[in-house]
């Protein structure tokens, strides 16, 4: 049993909201909102900005608990621990109206928590989270994965029902890893090395090329990274990746996410698994109908060496996008890894 006092819930609550213009504005949309206002917004969630990076296309904030990315017509925020992510909704809607935007598509998701009873009341069941979201939007919640096991919750509200008029179809992969390799995690405890070395030494900088890395080690352990990416050496940085690491044995958790448009996630998944060596993980892929990766359930080769896929669930939001959530276990996870933990 893990001492609840020392427990940390690594799994993030994740909110992504797409907006549409209501007037022909300057195309900067949410980028017009100053940092001071994001700080007020983040105060409702109980977290702080610890680092920021900007490109012409988007703003990236590393937070005290995870990350915020702001695009002209989209926001993606994920926050871990016992943050109160949905408390930001009032301000988010207010801010978006101030820059002449209206809500188009909302997704809110998280992996099942290890200790839901340690969360604030709204976040102890997905039903209460759905209720809170439906104070603002008109959507539905889904459970992907077994009701009696580790699972992934996703809420979706399609507020316009119209196929997107976006210039580019979007796609996002999230890899949510648990029961991580002790040796791989040992690197993410604070010591005298600087974090630049860690991102290079760990292999994190090599996951995606053409990257700017904004990363942070936490005391006494833990690591966050926002990457800013382009599809080749010359195009502008328009895509993000983000990694969050809770290295402690007993509740180790690492998440990897990127919205880089690739035709297959095979290489990304291979590199991520090679670095972190999880015992178990969930991969979720969101893909617009016209995304480069194809249908979300065909976006990578589901046969991953050393792992068995136990279940795959797809939810299709007809005409807009689909999400597929697949569960994997190391073929060694139930023997060597658990023995390793017991031997501590």
The active-site residue out of 109, 164, 211, 224 is 224
Q: How far is the CB of 303 from its own copies (least distance, A)?
A: 10
How are the residues of the chain apportioned to helix, strand and coil, as percentages rounded to the nearest 5? 25, 35, 40
CA distances to 20, 28, 73, 74, 166 from 24, in Å: 11, 11, 13, 16, 15
Q: How far is the CB of 194 from its own copies (least distance, A)?
A: 43
Q: Which of residues 22 and 335 has its CB atom nearest to its own copies in the complex?
A: 335
174 in Cβ contact with 190 (< 8 Å): no
The active-site residue out of 16, 60, 67, 80 is 80
Please give the backbone phi and psi of residue 343, each rounded to the nearest 5 degrees, phi first.
-75, -10
Tell whether residue 297 is a contact of its own copies (CB under 8 A): yes
Tell whether residue 310 is a contact of its own copies (CB under 8 A): yes
Is 224 annotated as catalytic? Answer: yes
Q: Is 253 helix (H, G, I), strand (E, B) or coil?
A: strand
The active-site residue out of 66, 164, 202, 326 is 66
Contacts of 331 (CB under 8 A, 6+ apart): 306, 307, 308
Report d(CA 149, CA 84) in Å as an integer.
24
Q: How far is the CB of 205 from its own copies (least distance, A)?
A: 33
Kindly tell me which residue out of 1, 23, 318, 343 binds its own copies, with binding defined by CB under 8 A: 318
Q: How far is the CB of 325 from its own copies (least distance, A)?
A: 10
Tell whether residue 165 is a contact of its own copies (CB under 8 A): no
Contacts of 1 (CB under 8 A, 6+ apart): none
Query: Which of positions 110-149 make contact with its own copies (CB under 8 A)?
Result: 126-127, 130, 134, 140-143, 145-149
Tell whether residue 314 is a contact of its own copies (CB under 8 A): yes
Q: Of the candidates 107, 110, 62, 41, which has an alpha carbon nearest to the alpha carbon of residue 82?
A: 110
Q: Which of residues 19 and 317 has its CB atom nearest to its own copies in the complex?
A: 317
Question: Where does this chain bind its own copies (CB under 8 A)?
Answer: 126-127, 130, 134, 140-143, 145-149, 297, 302, 308-318
Residues with catalytic function: 9, 12, 66, 80, 224, 244
């Amino acid at each position: 049993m893990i001492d609840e006092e020392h427990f940390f819930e690594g799994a993030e609550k994740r909110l992504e909201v797409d907006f549409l213009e209501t007037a022909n504005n300057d195309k900067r949309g949410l980028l017009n909102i100053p940092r001071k206002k994001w700080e007020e917004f983040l105060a409702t969630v109980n977290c702080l900005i610890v680092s920021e990076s900007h490109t012409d296309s988007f703003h990236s904030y590393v937070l005290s608990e995870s990350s915020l990315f702001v695009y002209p017509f989209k926001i993606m925020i994920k926050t871990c621990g016992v943050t109160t992510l949905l408390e930001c909704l009032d301000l988010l809607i207010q801010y978006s109206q101030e820059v002449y935007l209206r809500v188009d598509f909302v997704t809110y998701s998280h992996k099942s928590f290890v200790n839901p009873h340690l969360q604030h009341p709204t976040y102890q069941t997905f039903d209460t989270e759905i209720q809170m979201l439906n104070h603002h939007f008109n959507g539905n919640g889904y459970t992907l994965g077994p009701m009696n096991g580790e699972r992934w919750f996703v809420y979706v509200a399609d507020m316009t029902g119209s196929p997107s008029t976006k210039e580019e179809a979007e796609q996002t992969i999230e890899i949510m890893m648990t029961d991580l390799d002790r040796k791989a995690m040992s690197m993410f405890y604070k010591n005298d090395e600087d974090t630049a070395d860690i991102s290079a030494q760990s292999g994190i900088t090599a996951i995606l090329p053409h990257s700017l890395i904004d990363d942070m080690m936490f005391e006494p352990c833990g690591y966050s990274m926002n990457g800013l990416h382009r599809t080749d050496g010359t195009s502008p940085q328009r895509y993000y990746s983000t990694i969050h690491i809770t290295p402690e044995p007993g509740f180790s958790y690492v998440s990897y996410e990127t919205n880089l448009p690739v035709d297959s996630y095979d290489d990304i998944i291979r590199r991520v698994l090679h670095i972190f060596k999880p015992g178990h993980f969930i991969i979720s892929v969101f893909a617009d109908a016209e995304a480069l990766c194809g249908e979300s359930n065909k976006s990578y080769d589901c046969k991953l060496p050393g792992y068995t896929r136990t279940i795959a669930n797809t939810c299709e939001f007809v005409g807009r996008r689909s999400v597929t959530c697949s569960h994997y276990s190391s073929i060694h996870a139930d023997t060597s890894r658990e023995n390793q933990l017991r031997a501590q």
